[in-house]
Amino acid sequence: MTVIVDGVIILFLVIGAFLSLVATFGVIRLPDVYTRNHAASKAATLGVMSTLLGAFLYFYLIEGHFSSRILLGIAFIFITAPVSGHLISRAAYNAGIKLADSSIRDDLKDKNKR
Amino acid sequence: MAFQILLNFFLAFLWMFLQVSFNSSTFIVGYILGLILIYGMRRFFKQEFYMRRVWAVFYLTLLFFKELILANIDVLRVILKPKLDIQPGIFAMPTELKSDWEITLLSSLITLTPGTLVIDVSDDNKVLYVHAIDLPDVHDAIDGIKNSFEKAIMEVSRNG
């Protein structure tokens, strides 16, 4: 039983750390602000969420302490991360930051011209 | 919907008073009995049985988590691919949803969908401007996902 519990906790923590690492790679590698935002707002969200879930399971199953604050933290990150990603890219667009050169379409330009 | 929940609470308290036992297990039994009663009397209410909507919210939450995991796998694939040959772009997506909270929910769902991110909502709440990380690749798939999202949200907000 403890072996399974340990395995699950380790799995969650390793996935969380890996996703955060990949999000960092994405921020370095991708060409412009918008594509970087994809990496930061998705991979980092799930990374932090699974790290917190691993911590929650550790304290609940091994230490016997039910920490509801961690669950609340997961819920708050889940709600706020997509909104912050949206706001950052919207602010970038309105500040006139250009898309990457490989971009093939921009419908929003037509709207702002009208 | 709120009226039905209130009525259900009232019936549960009634059950507690009939049993003269004031603890949570009696409350839960009374709540379930009240639920059965309200289901039996559902044709007298103006709105549909409220558990249906609770189920719709639950389904939407599951959809949210599934999309989050799929989105991460997709972003992982894009980032870790040795050659960076993505074609990003912004496209306009018309939506049928009306009220503000529905559109907020839809944009959060789209932002967590594989390869898409909402950049702007038009002033009349009819068009969402979505940035896609790889436009030719996802354009068709996106439409299907959007329809399922819109449908799931409408299922929650539907009246009558």
| Integer CA distances (angstroms), A113 to A106, B60, B103, in order | 12, 36, 24
Distance from CA of A42 to the nearest CA of B (A): 6
Looking at A30-106, list the stretches that DSSP marks H as alpha helix, in order from N- to C-terminal side: 33-61, 68-94
B47: tokens are 């709105």
Look up the ipTM and state it.
Answer: 0.75
CB A48 within 8 A of CB A77: yes
| Chain segment B77-123, per-residue pLDDT in tens | 888 877 777 778 787 788 888 888 888 888 888 888 777 888 888 88
A→B contacts (Cβ < 8 Å), by residue, are 19, 22, 25-26, 29-32, 34-35, 37-39, 41-43, 45-46, 78-79, 82-83, 85-86, 89-90, 93, 99-100, 102-108, 111
**Each residue of A39-67: pLDDT tens digit?**
888 888 888 999 999 999 999 988 888 88
Sign of CA dihedral B98, B103, B105, B109: positive
How close, in Å, is residue A88 to chain B by CA atoms?
A: 9
Sort out which chain B residues have CB atoms less than 8 A from A102's CB and list them.
Answer: 86-88
pLDDT, position B160: 41
Fill in the amino acid letter for B43.
R
CB-CB under 8 Å, B122 with A111: yes
pLDDT surpassing 90 at residue B30: yes
Q: How confident is the model at residue A36 (pLDDT cuts 50, 70, 90)?
A: confident
Residue A90 Cα, gap to closest chain B Cα (Å): 5
Check pLDDT > 90 for residue B32.
yes
Instruction: Read off the pTM.
Output: 0.77
User: How does residue A103 score in pLDDT terms, banded at 50, 70 and 90?
Assistant: low
Distance CA A74, CA A51 (A): 10
For B143, the token pair is 């439409």
User: Which tops the pLDDT comparison, A106 or B25?
Assistant: B25
Collapsing DSSP to helix, strand or coil, A69 comes out as helix
Q: Could you read off the pLDDT of B4-13 as tens digits, one per residue?
A: 889 999 999 9
Three-state helix/strand/coil letters over chain B: CHHHHHHHHHHHHHHHHHHCCCCHHHHHHHHHHHHHHHHHCHHHCCCCCHHHHHHHHHHHHHHHHHHHHHHHHHHHHHHHCCCCCCCCEEEEEECCCCCHHHHHHHHHHHHCCCCEEEEEECCCCCEEEEEECCHHHHHHHHHHHHHHHHHHHHHHHCCC
CB contact under 8 A, B87 and A103: yes
> Residue B111 in contact with residue A41, Cβ under 8 Å?
yes
What's chain A's average pLDDT? 84
Chain A to chain B Cβ contacts (< 8 Å): 108
Question: Is residue B108 packed enough to be buried (19+ CB in 10 Å), middle (13-18) or exposed (0-12)?
Answer: buried
Question: Sheet of B116-121: strands edge to edge?
Answer: B89-94, B127-132, B116-121
What integer pLDDT is reported at residue B51 of this predicted model? 84
Angle CA B140–B147–B62, to nearest 5: 110
Phi then psi for residue B142, to 5 deg, are -60, -45
Report the residue of B120, B124, B127, B128 to disrupt the A interface, i.e. the one with the largest count of A CBs within 10 Å: B120
CB-CB contact of B38 with B4 (8 Å): yes
pLDDT at B159: 57
- Cα A19 from Cα A26, distance rounded (Å): 10
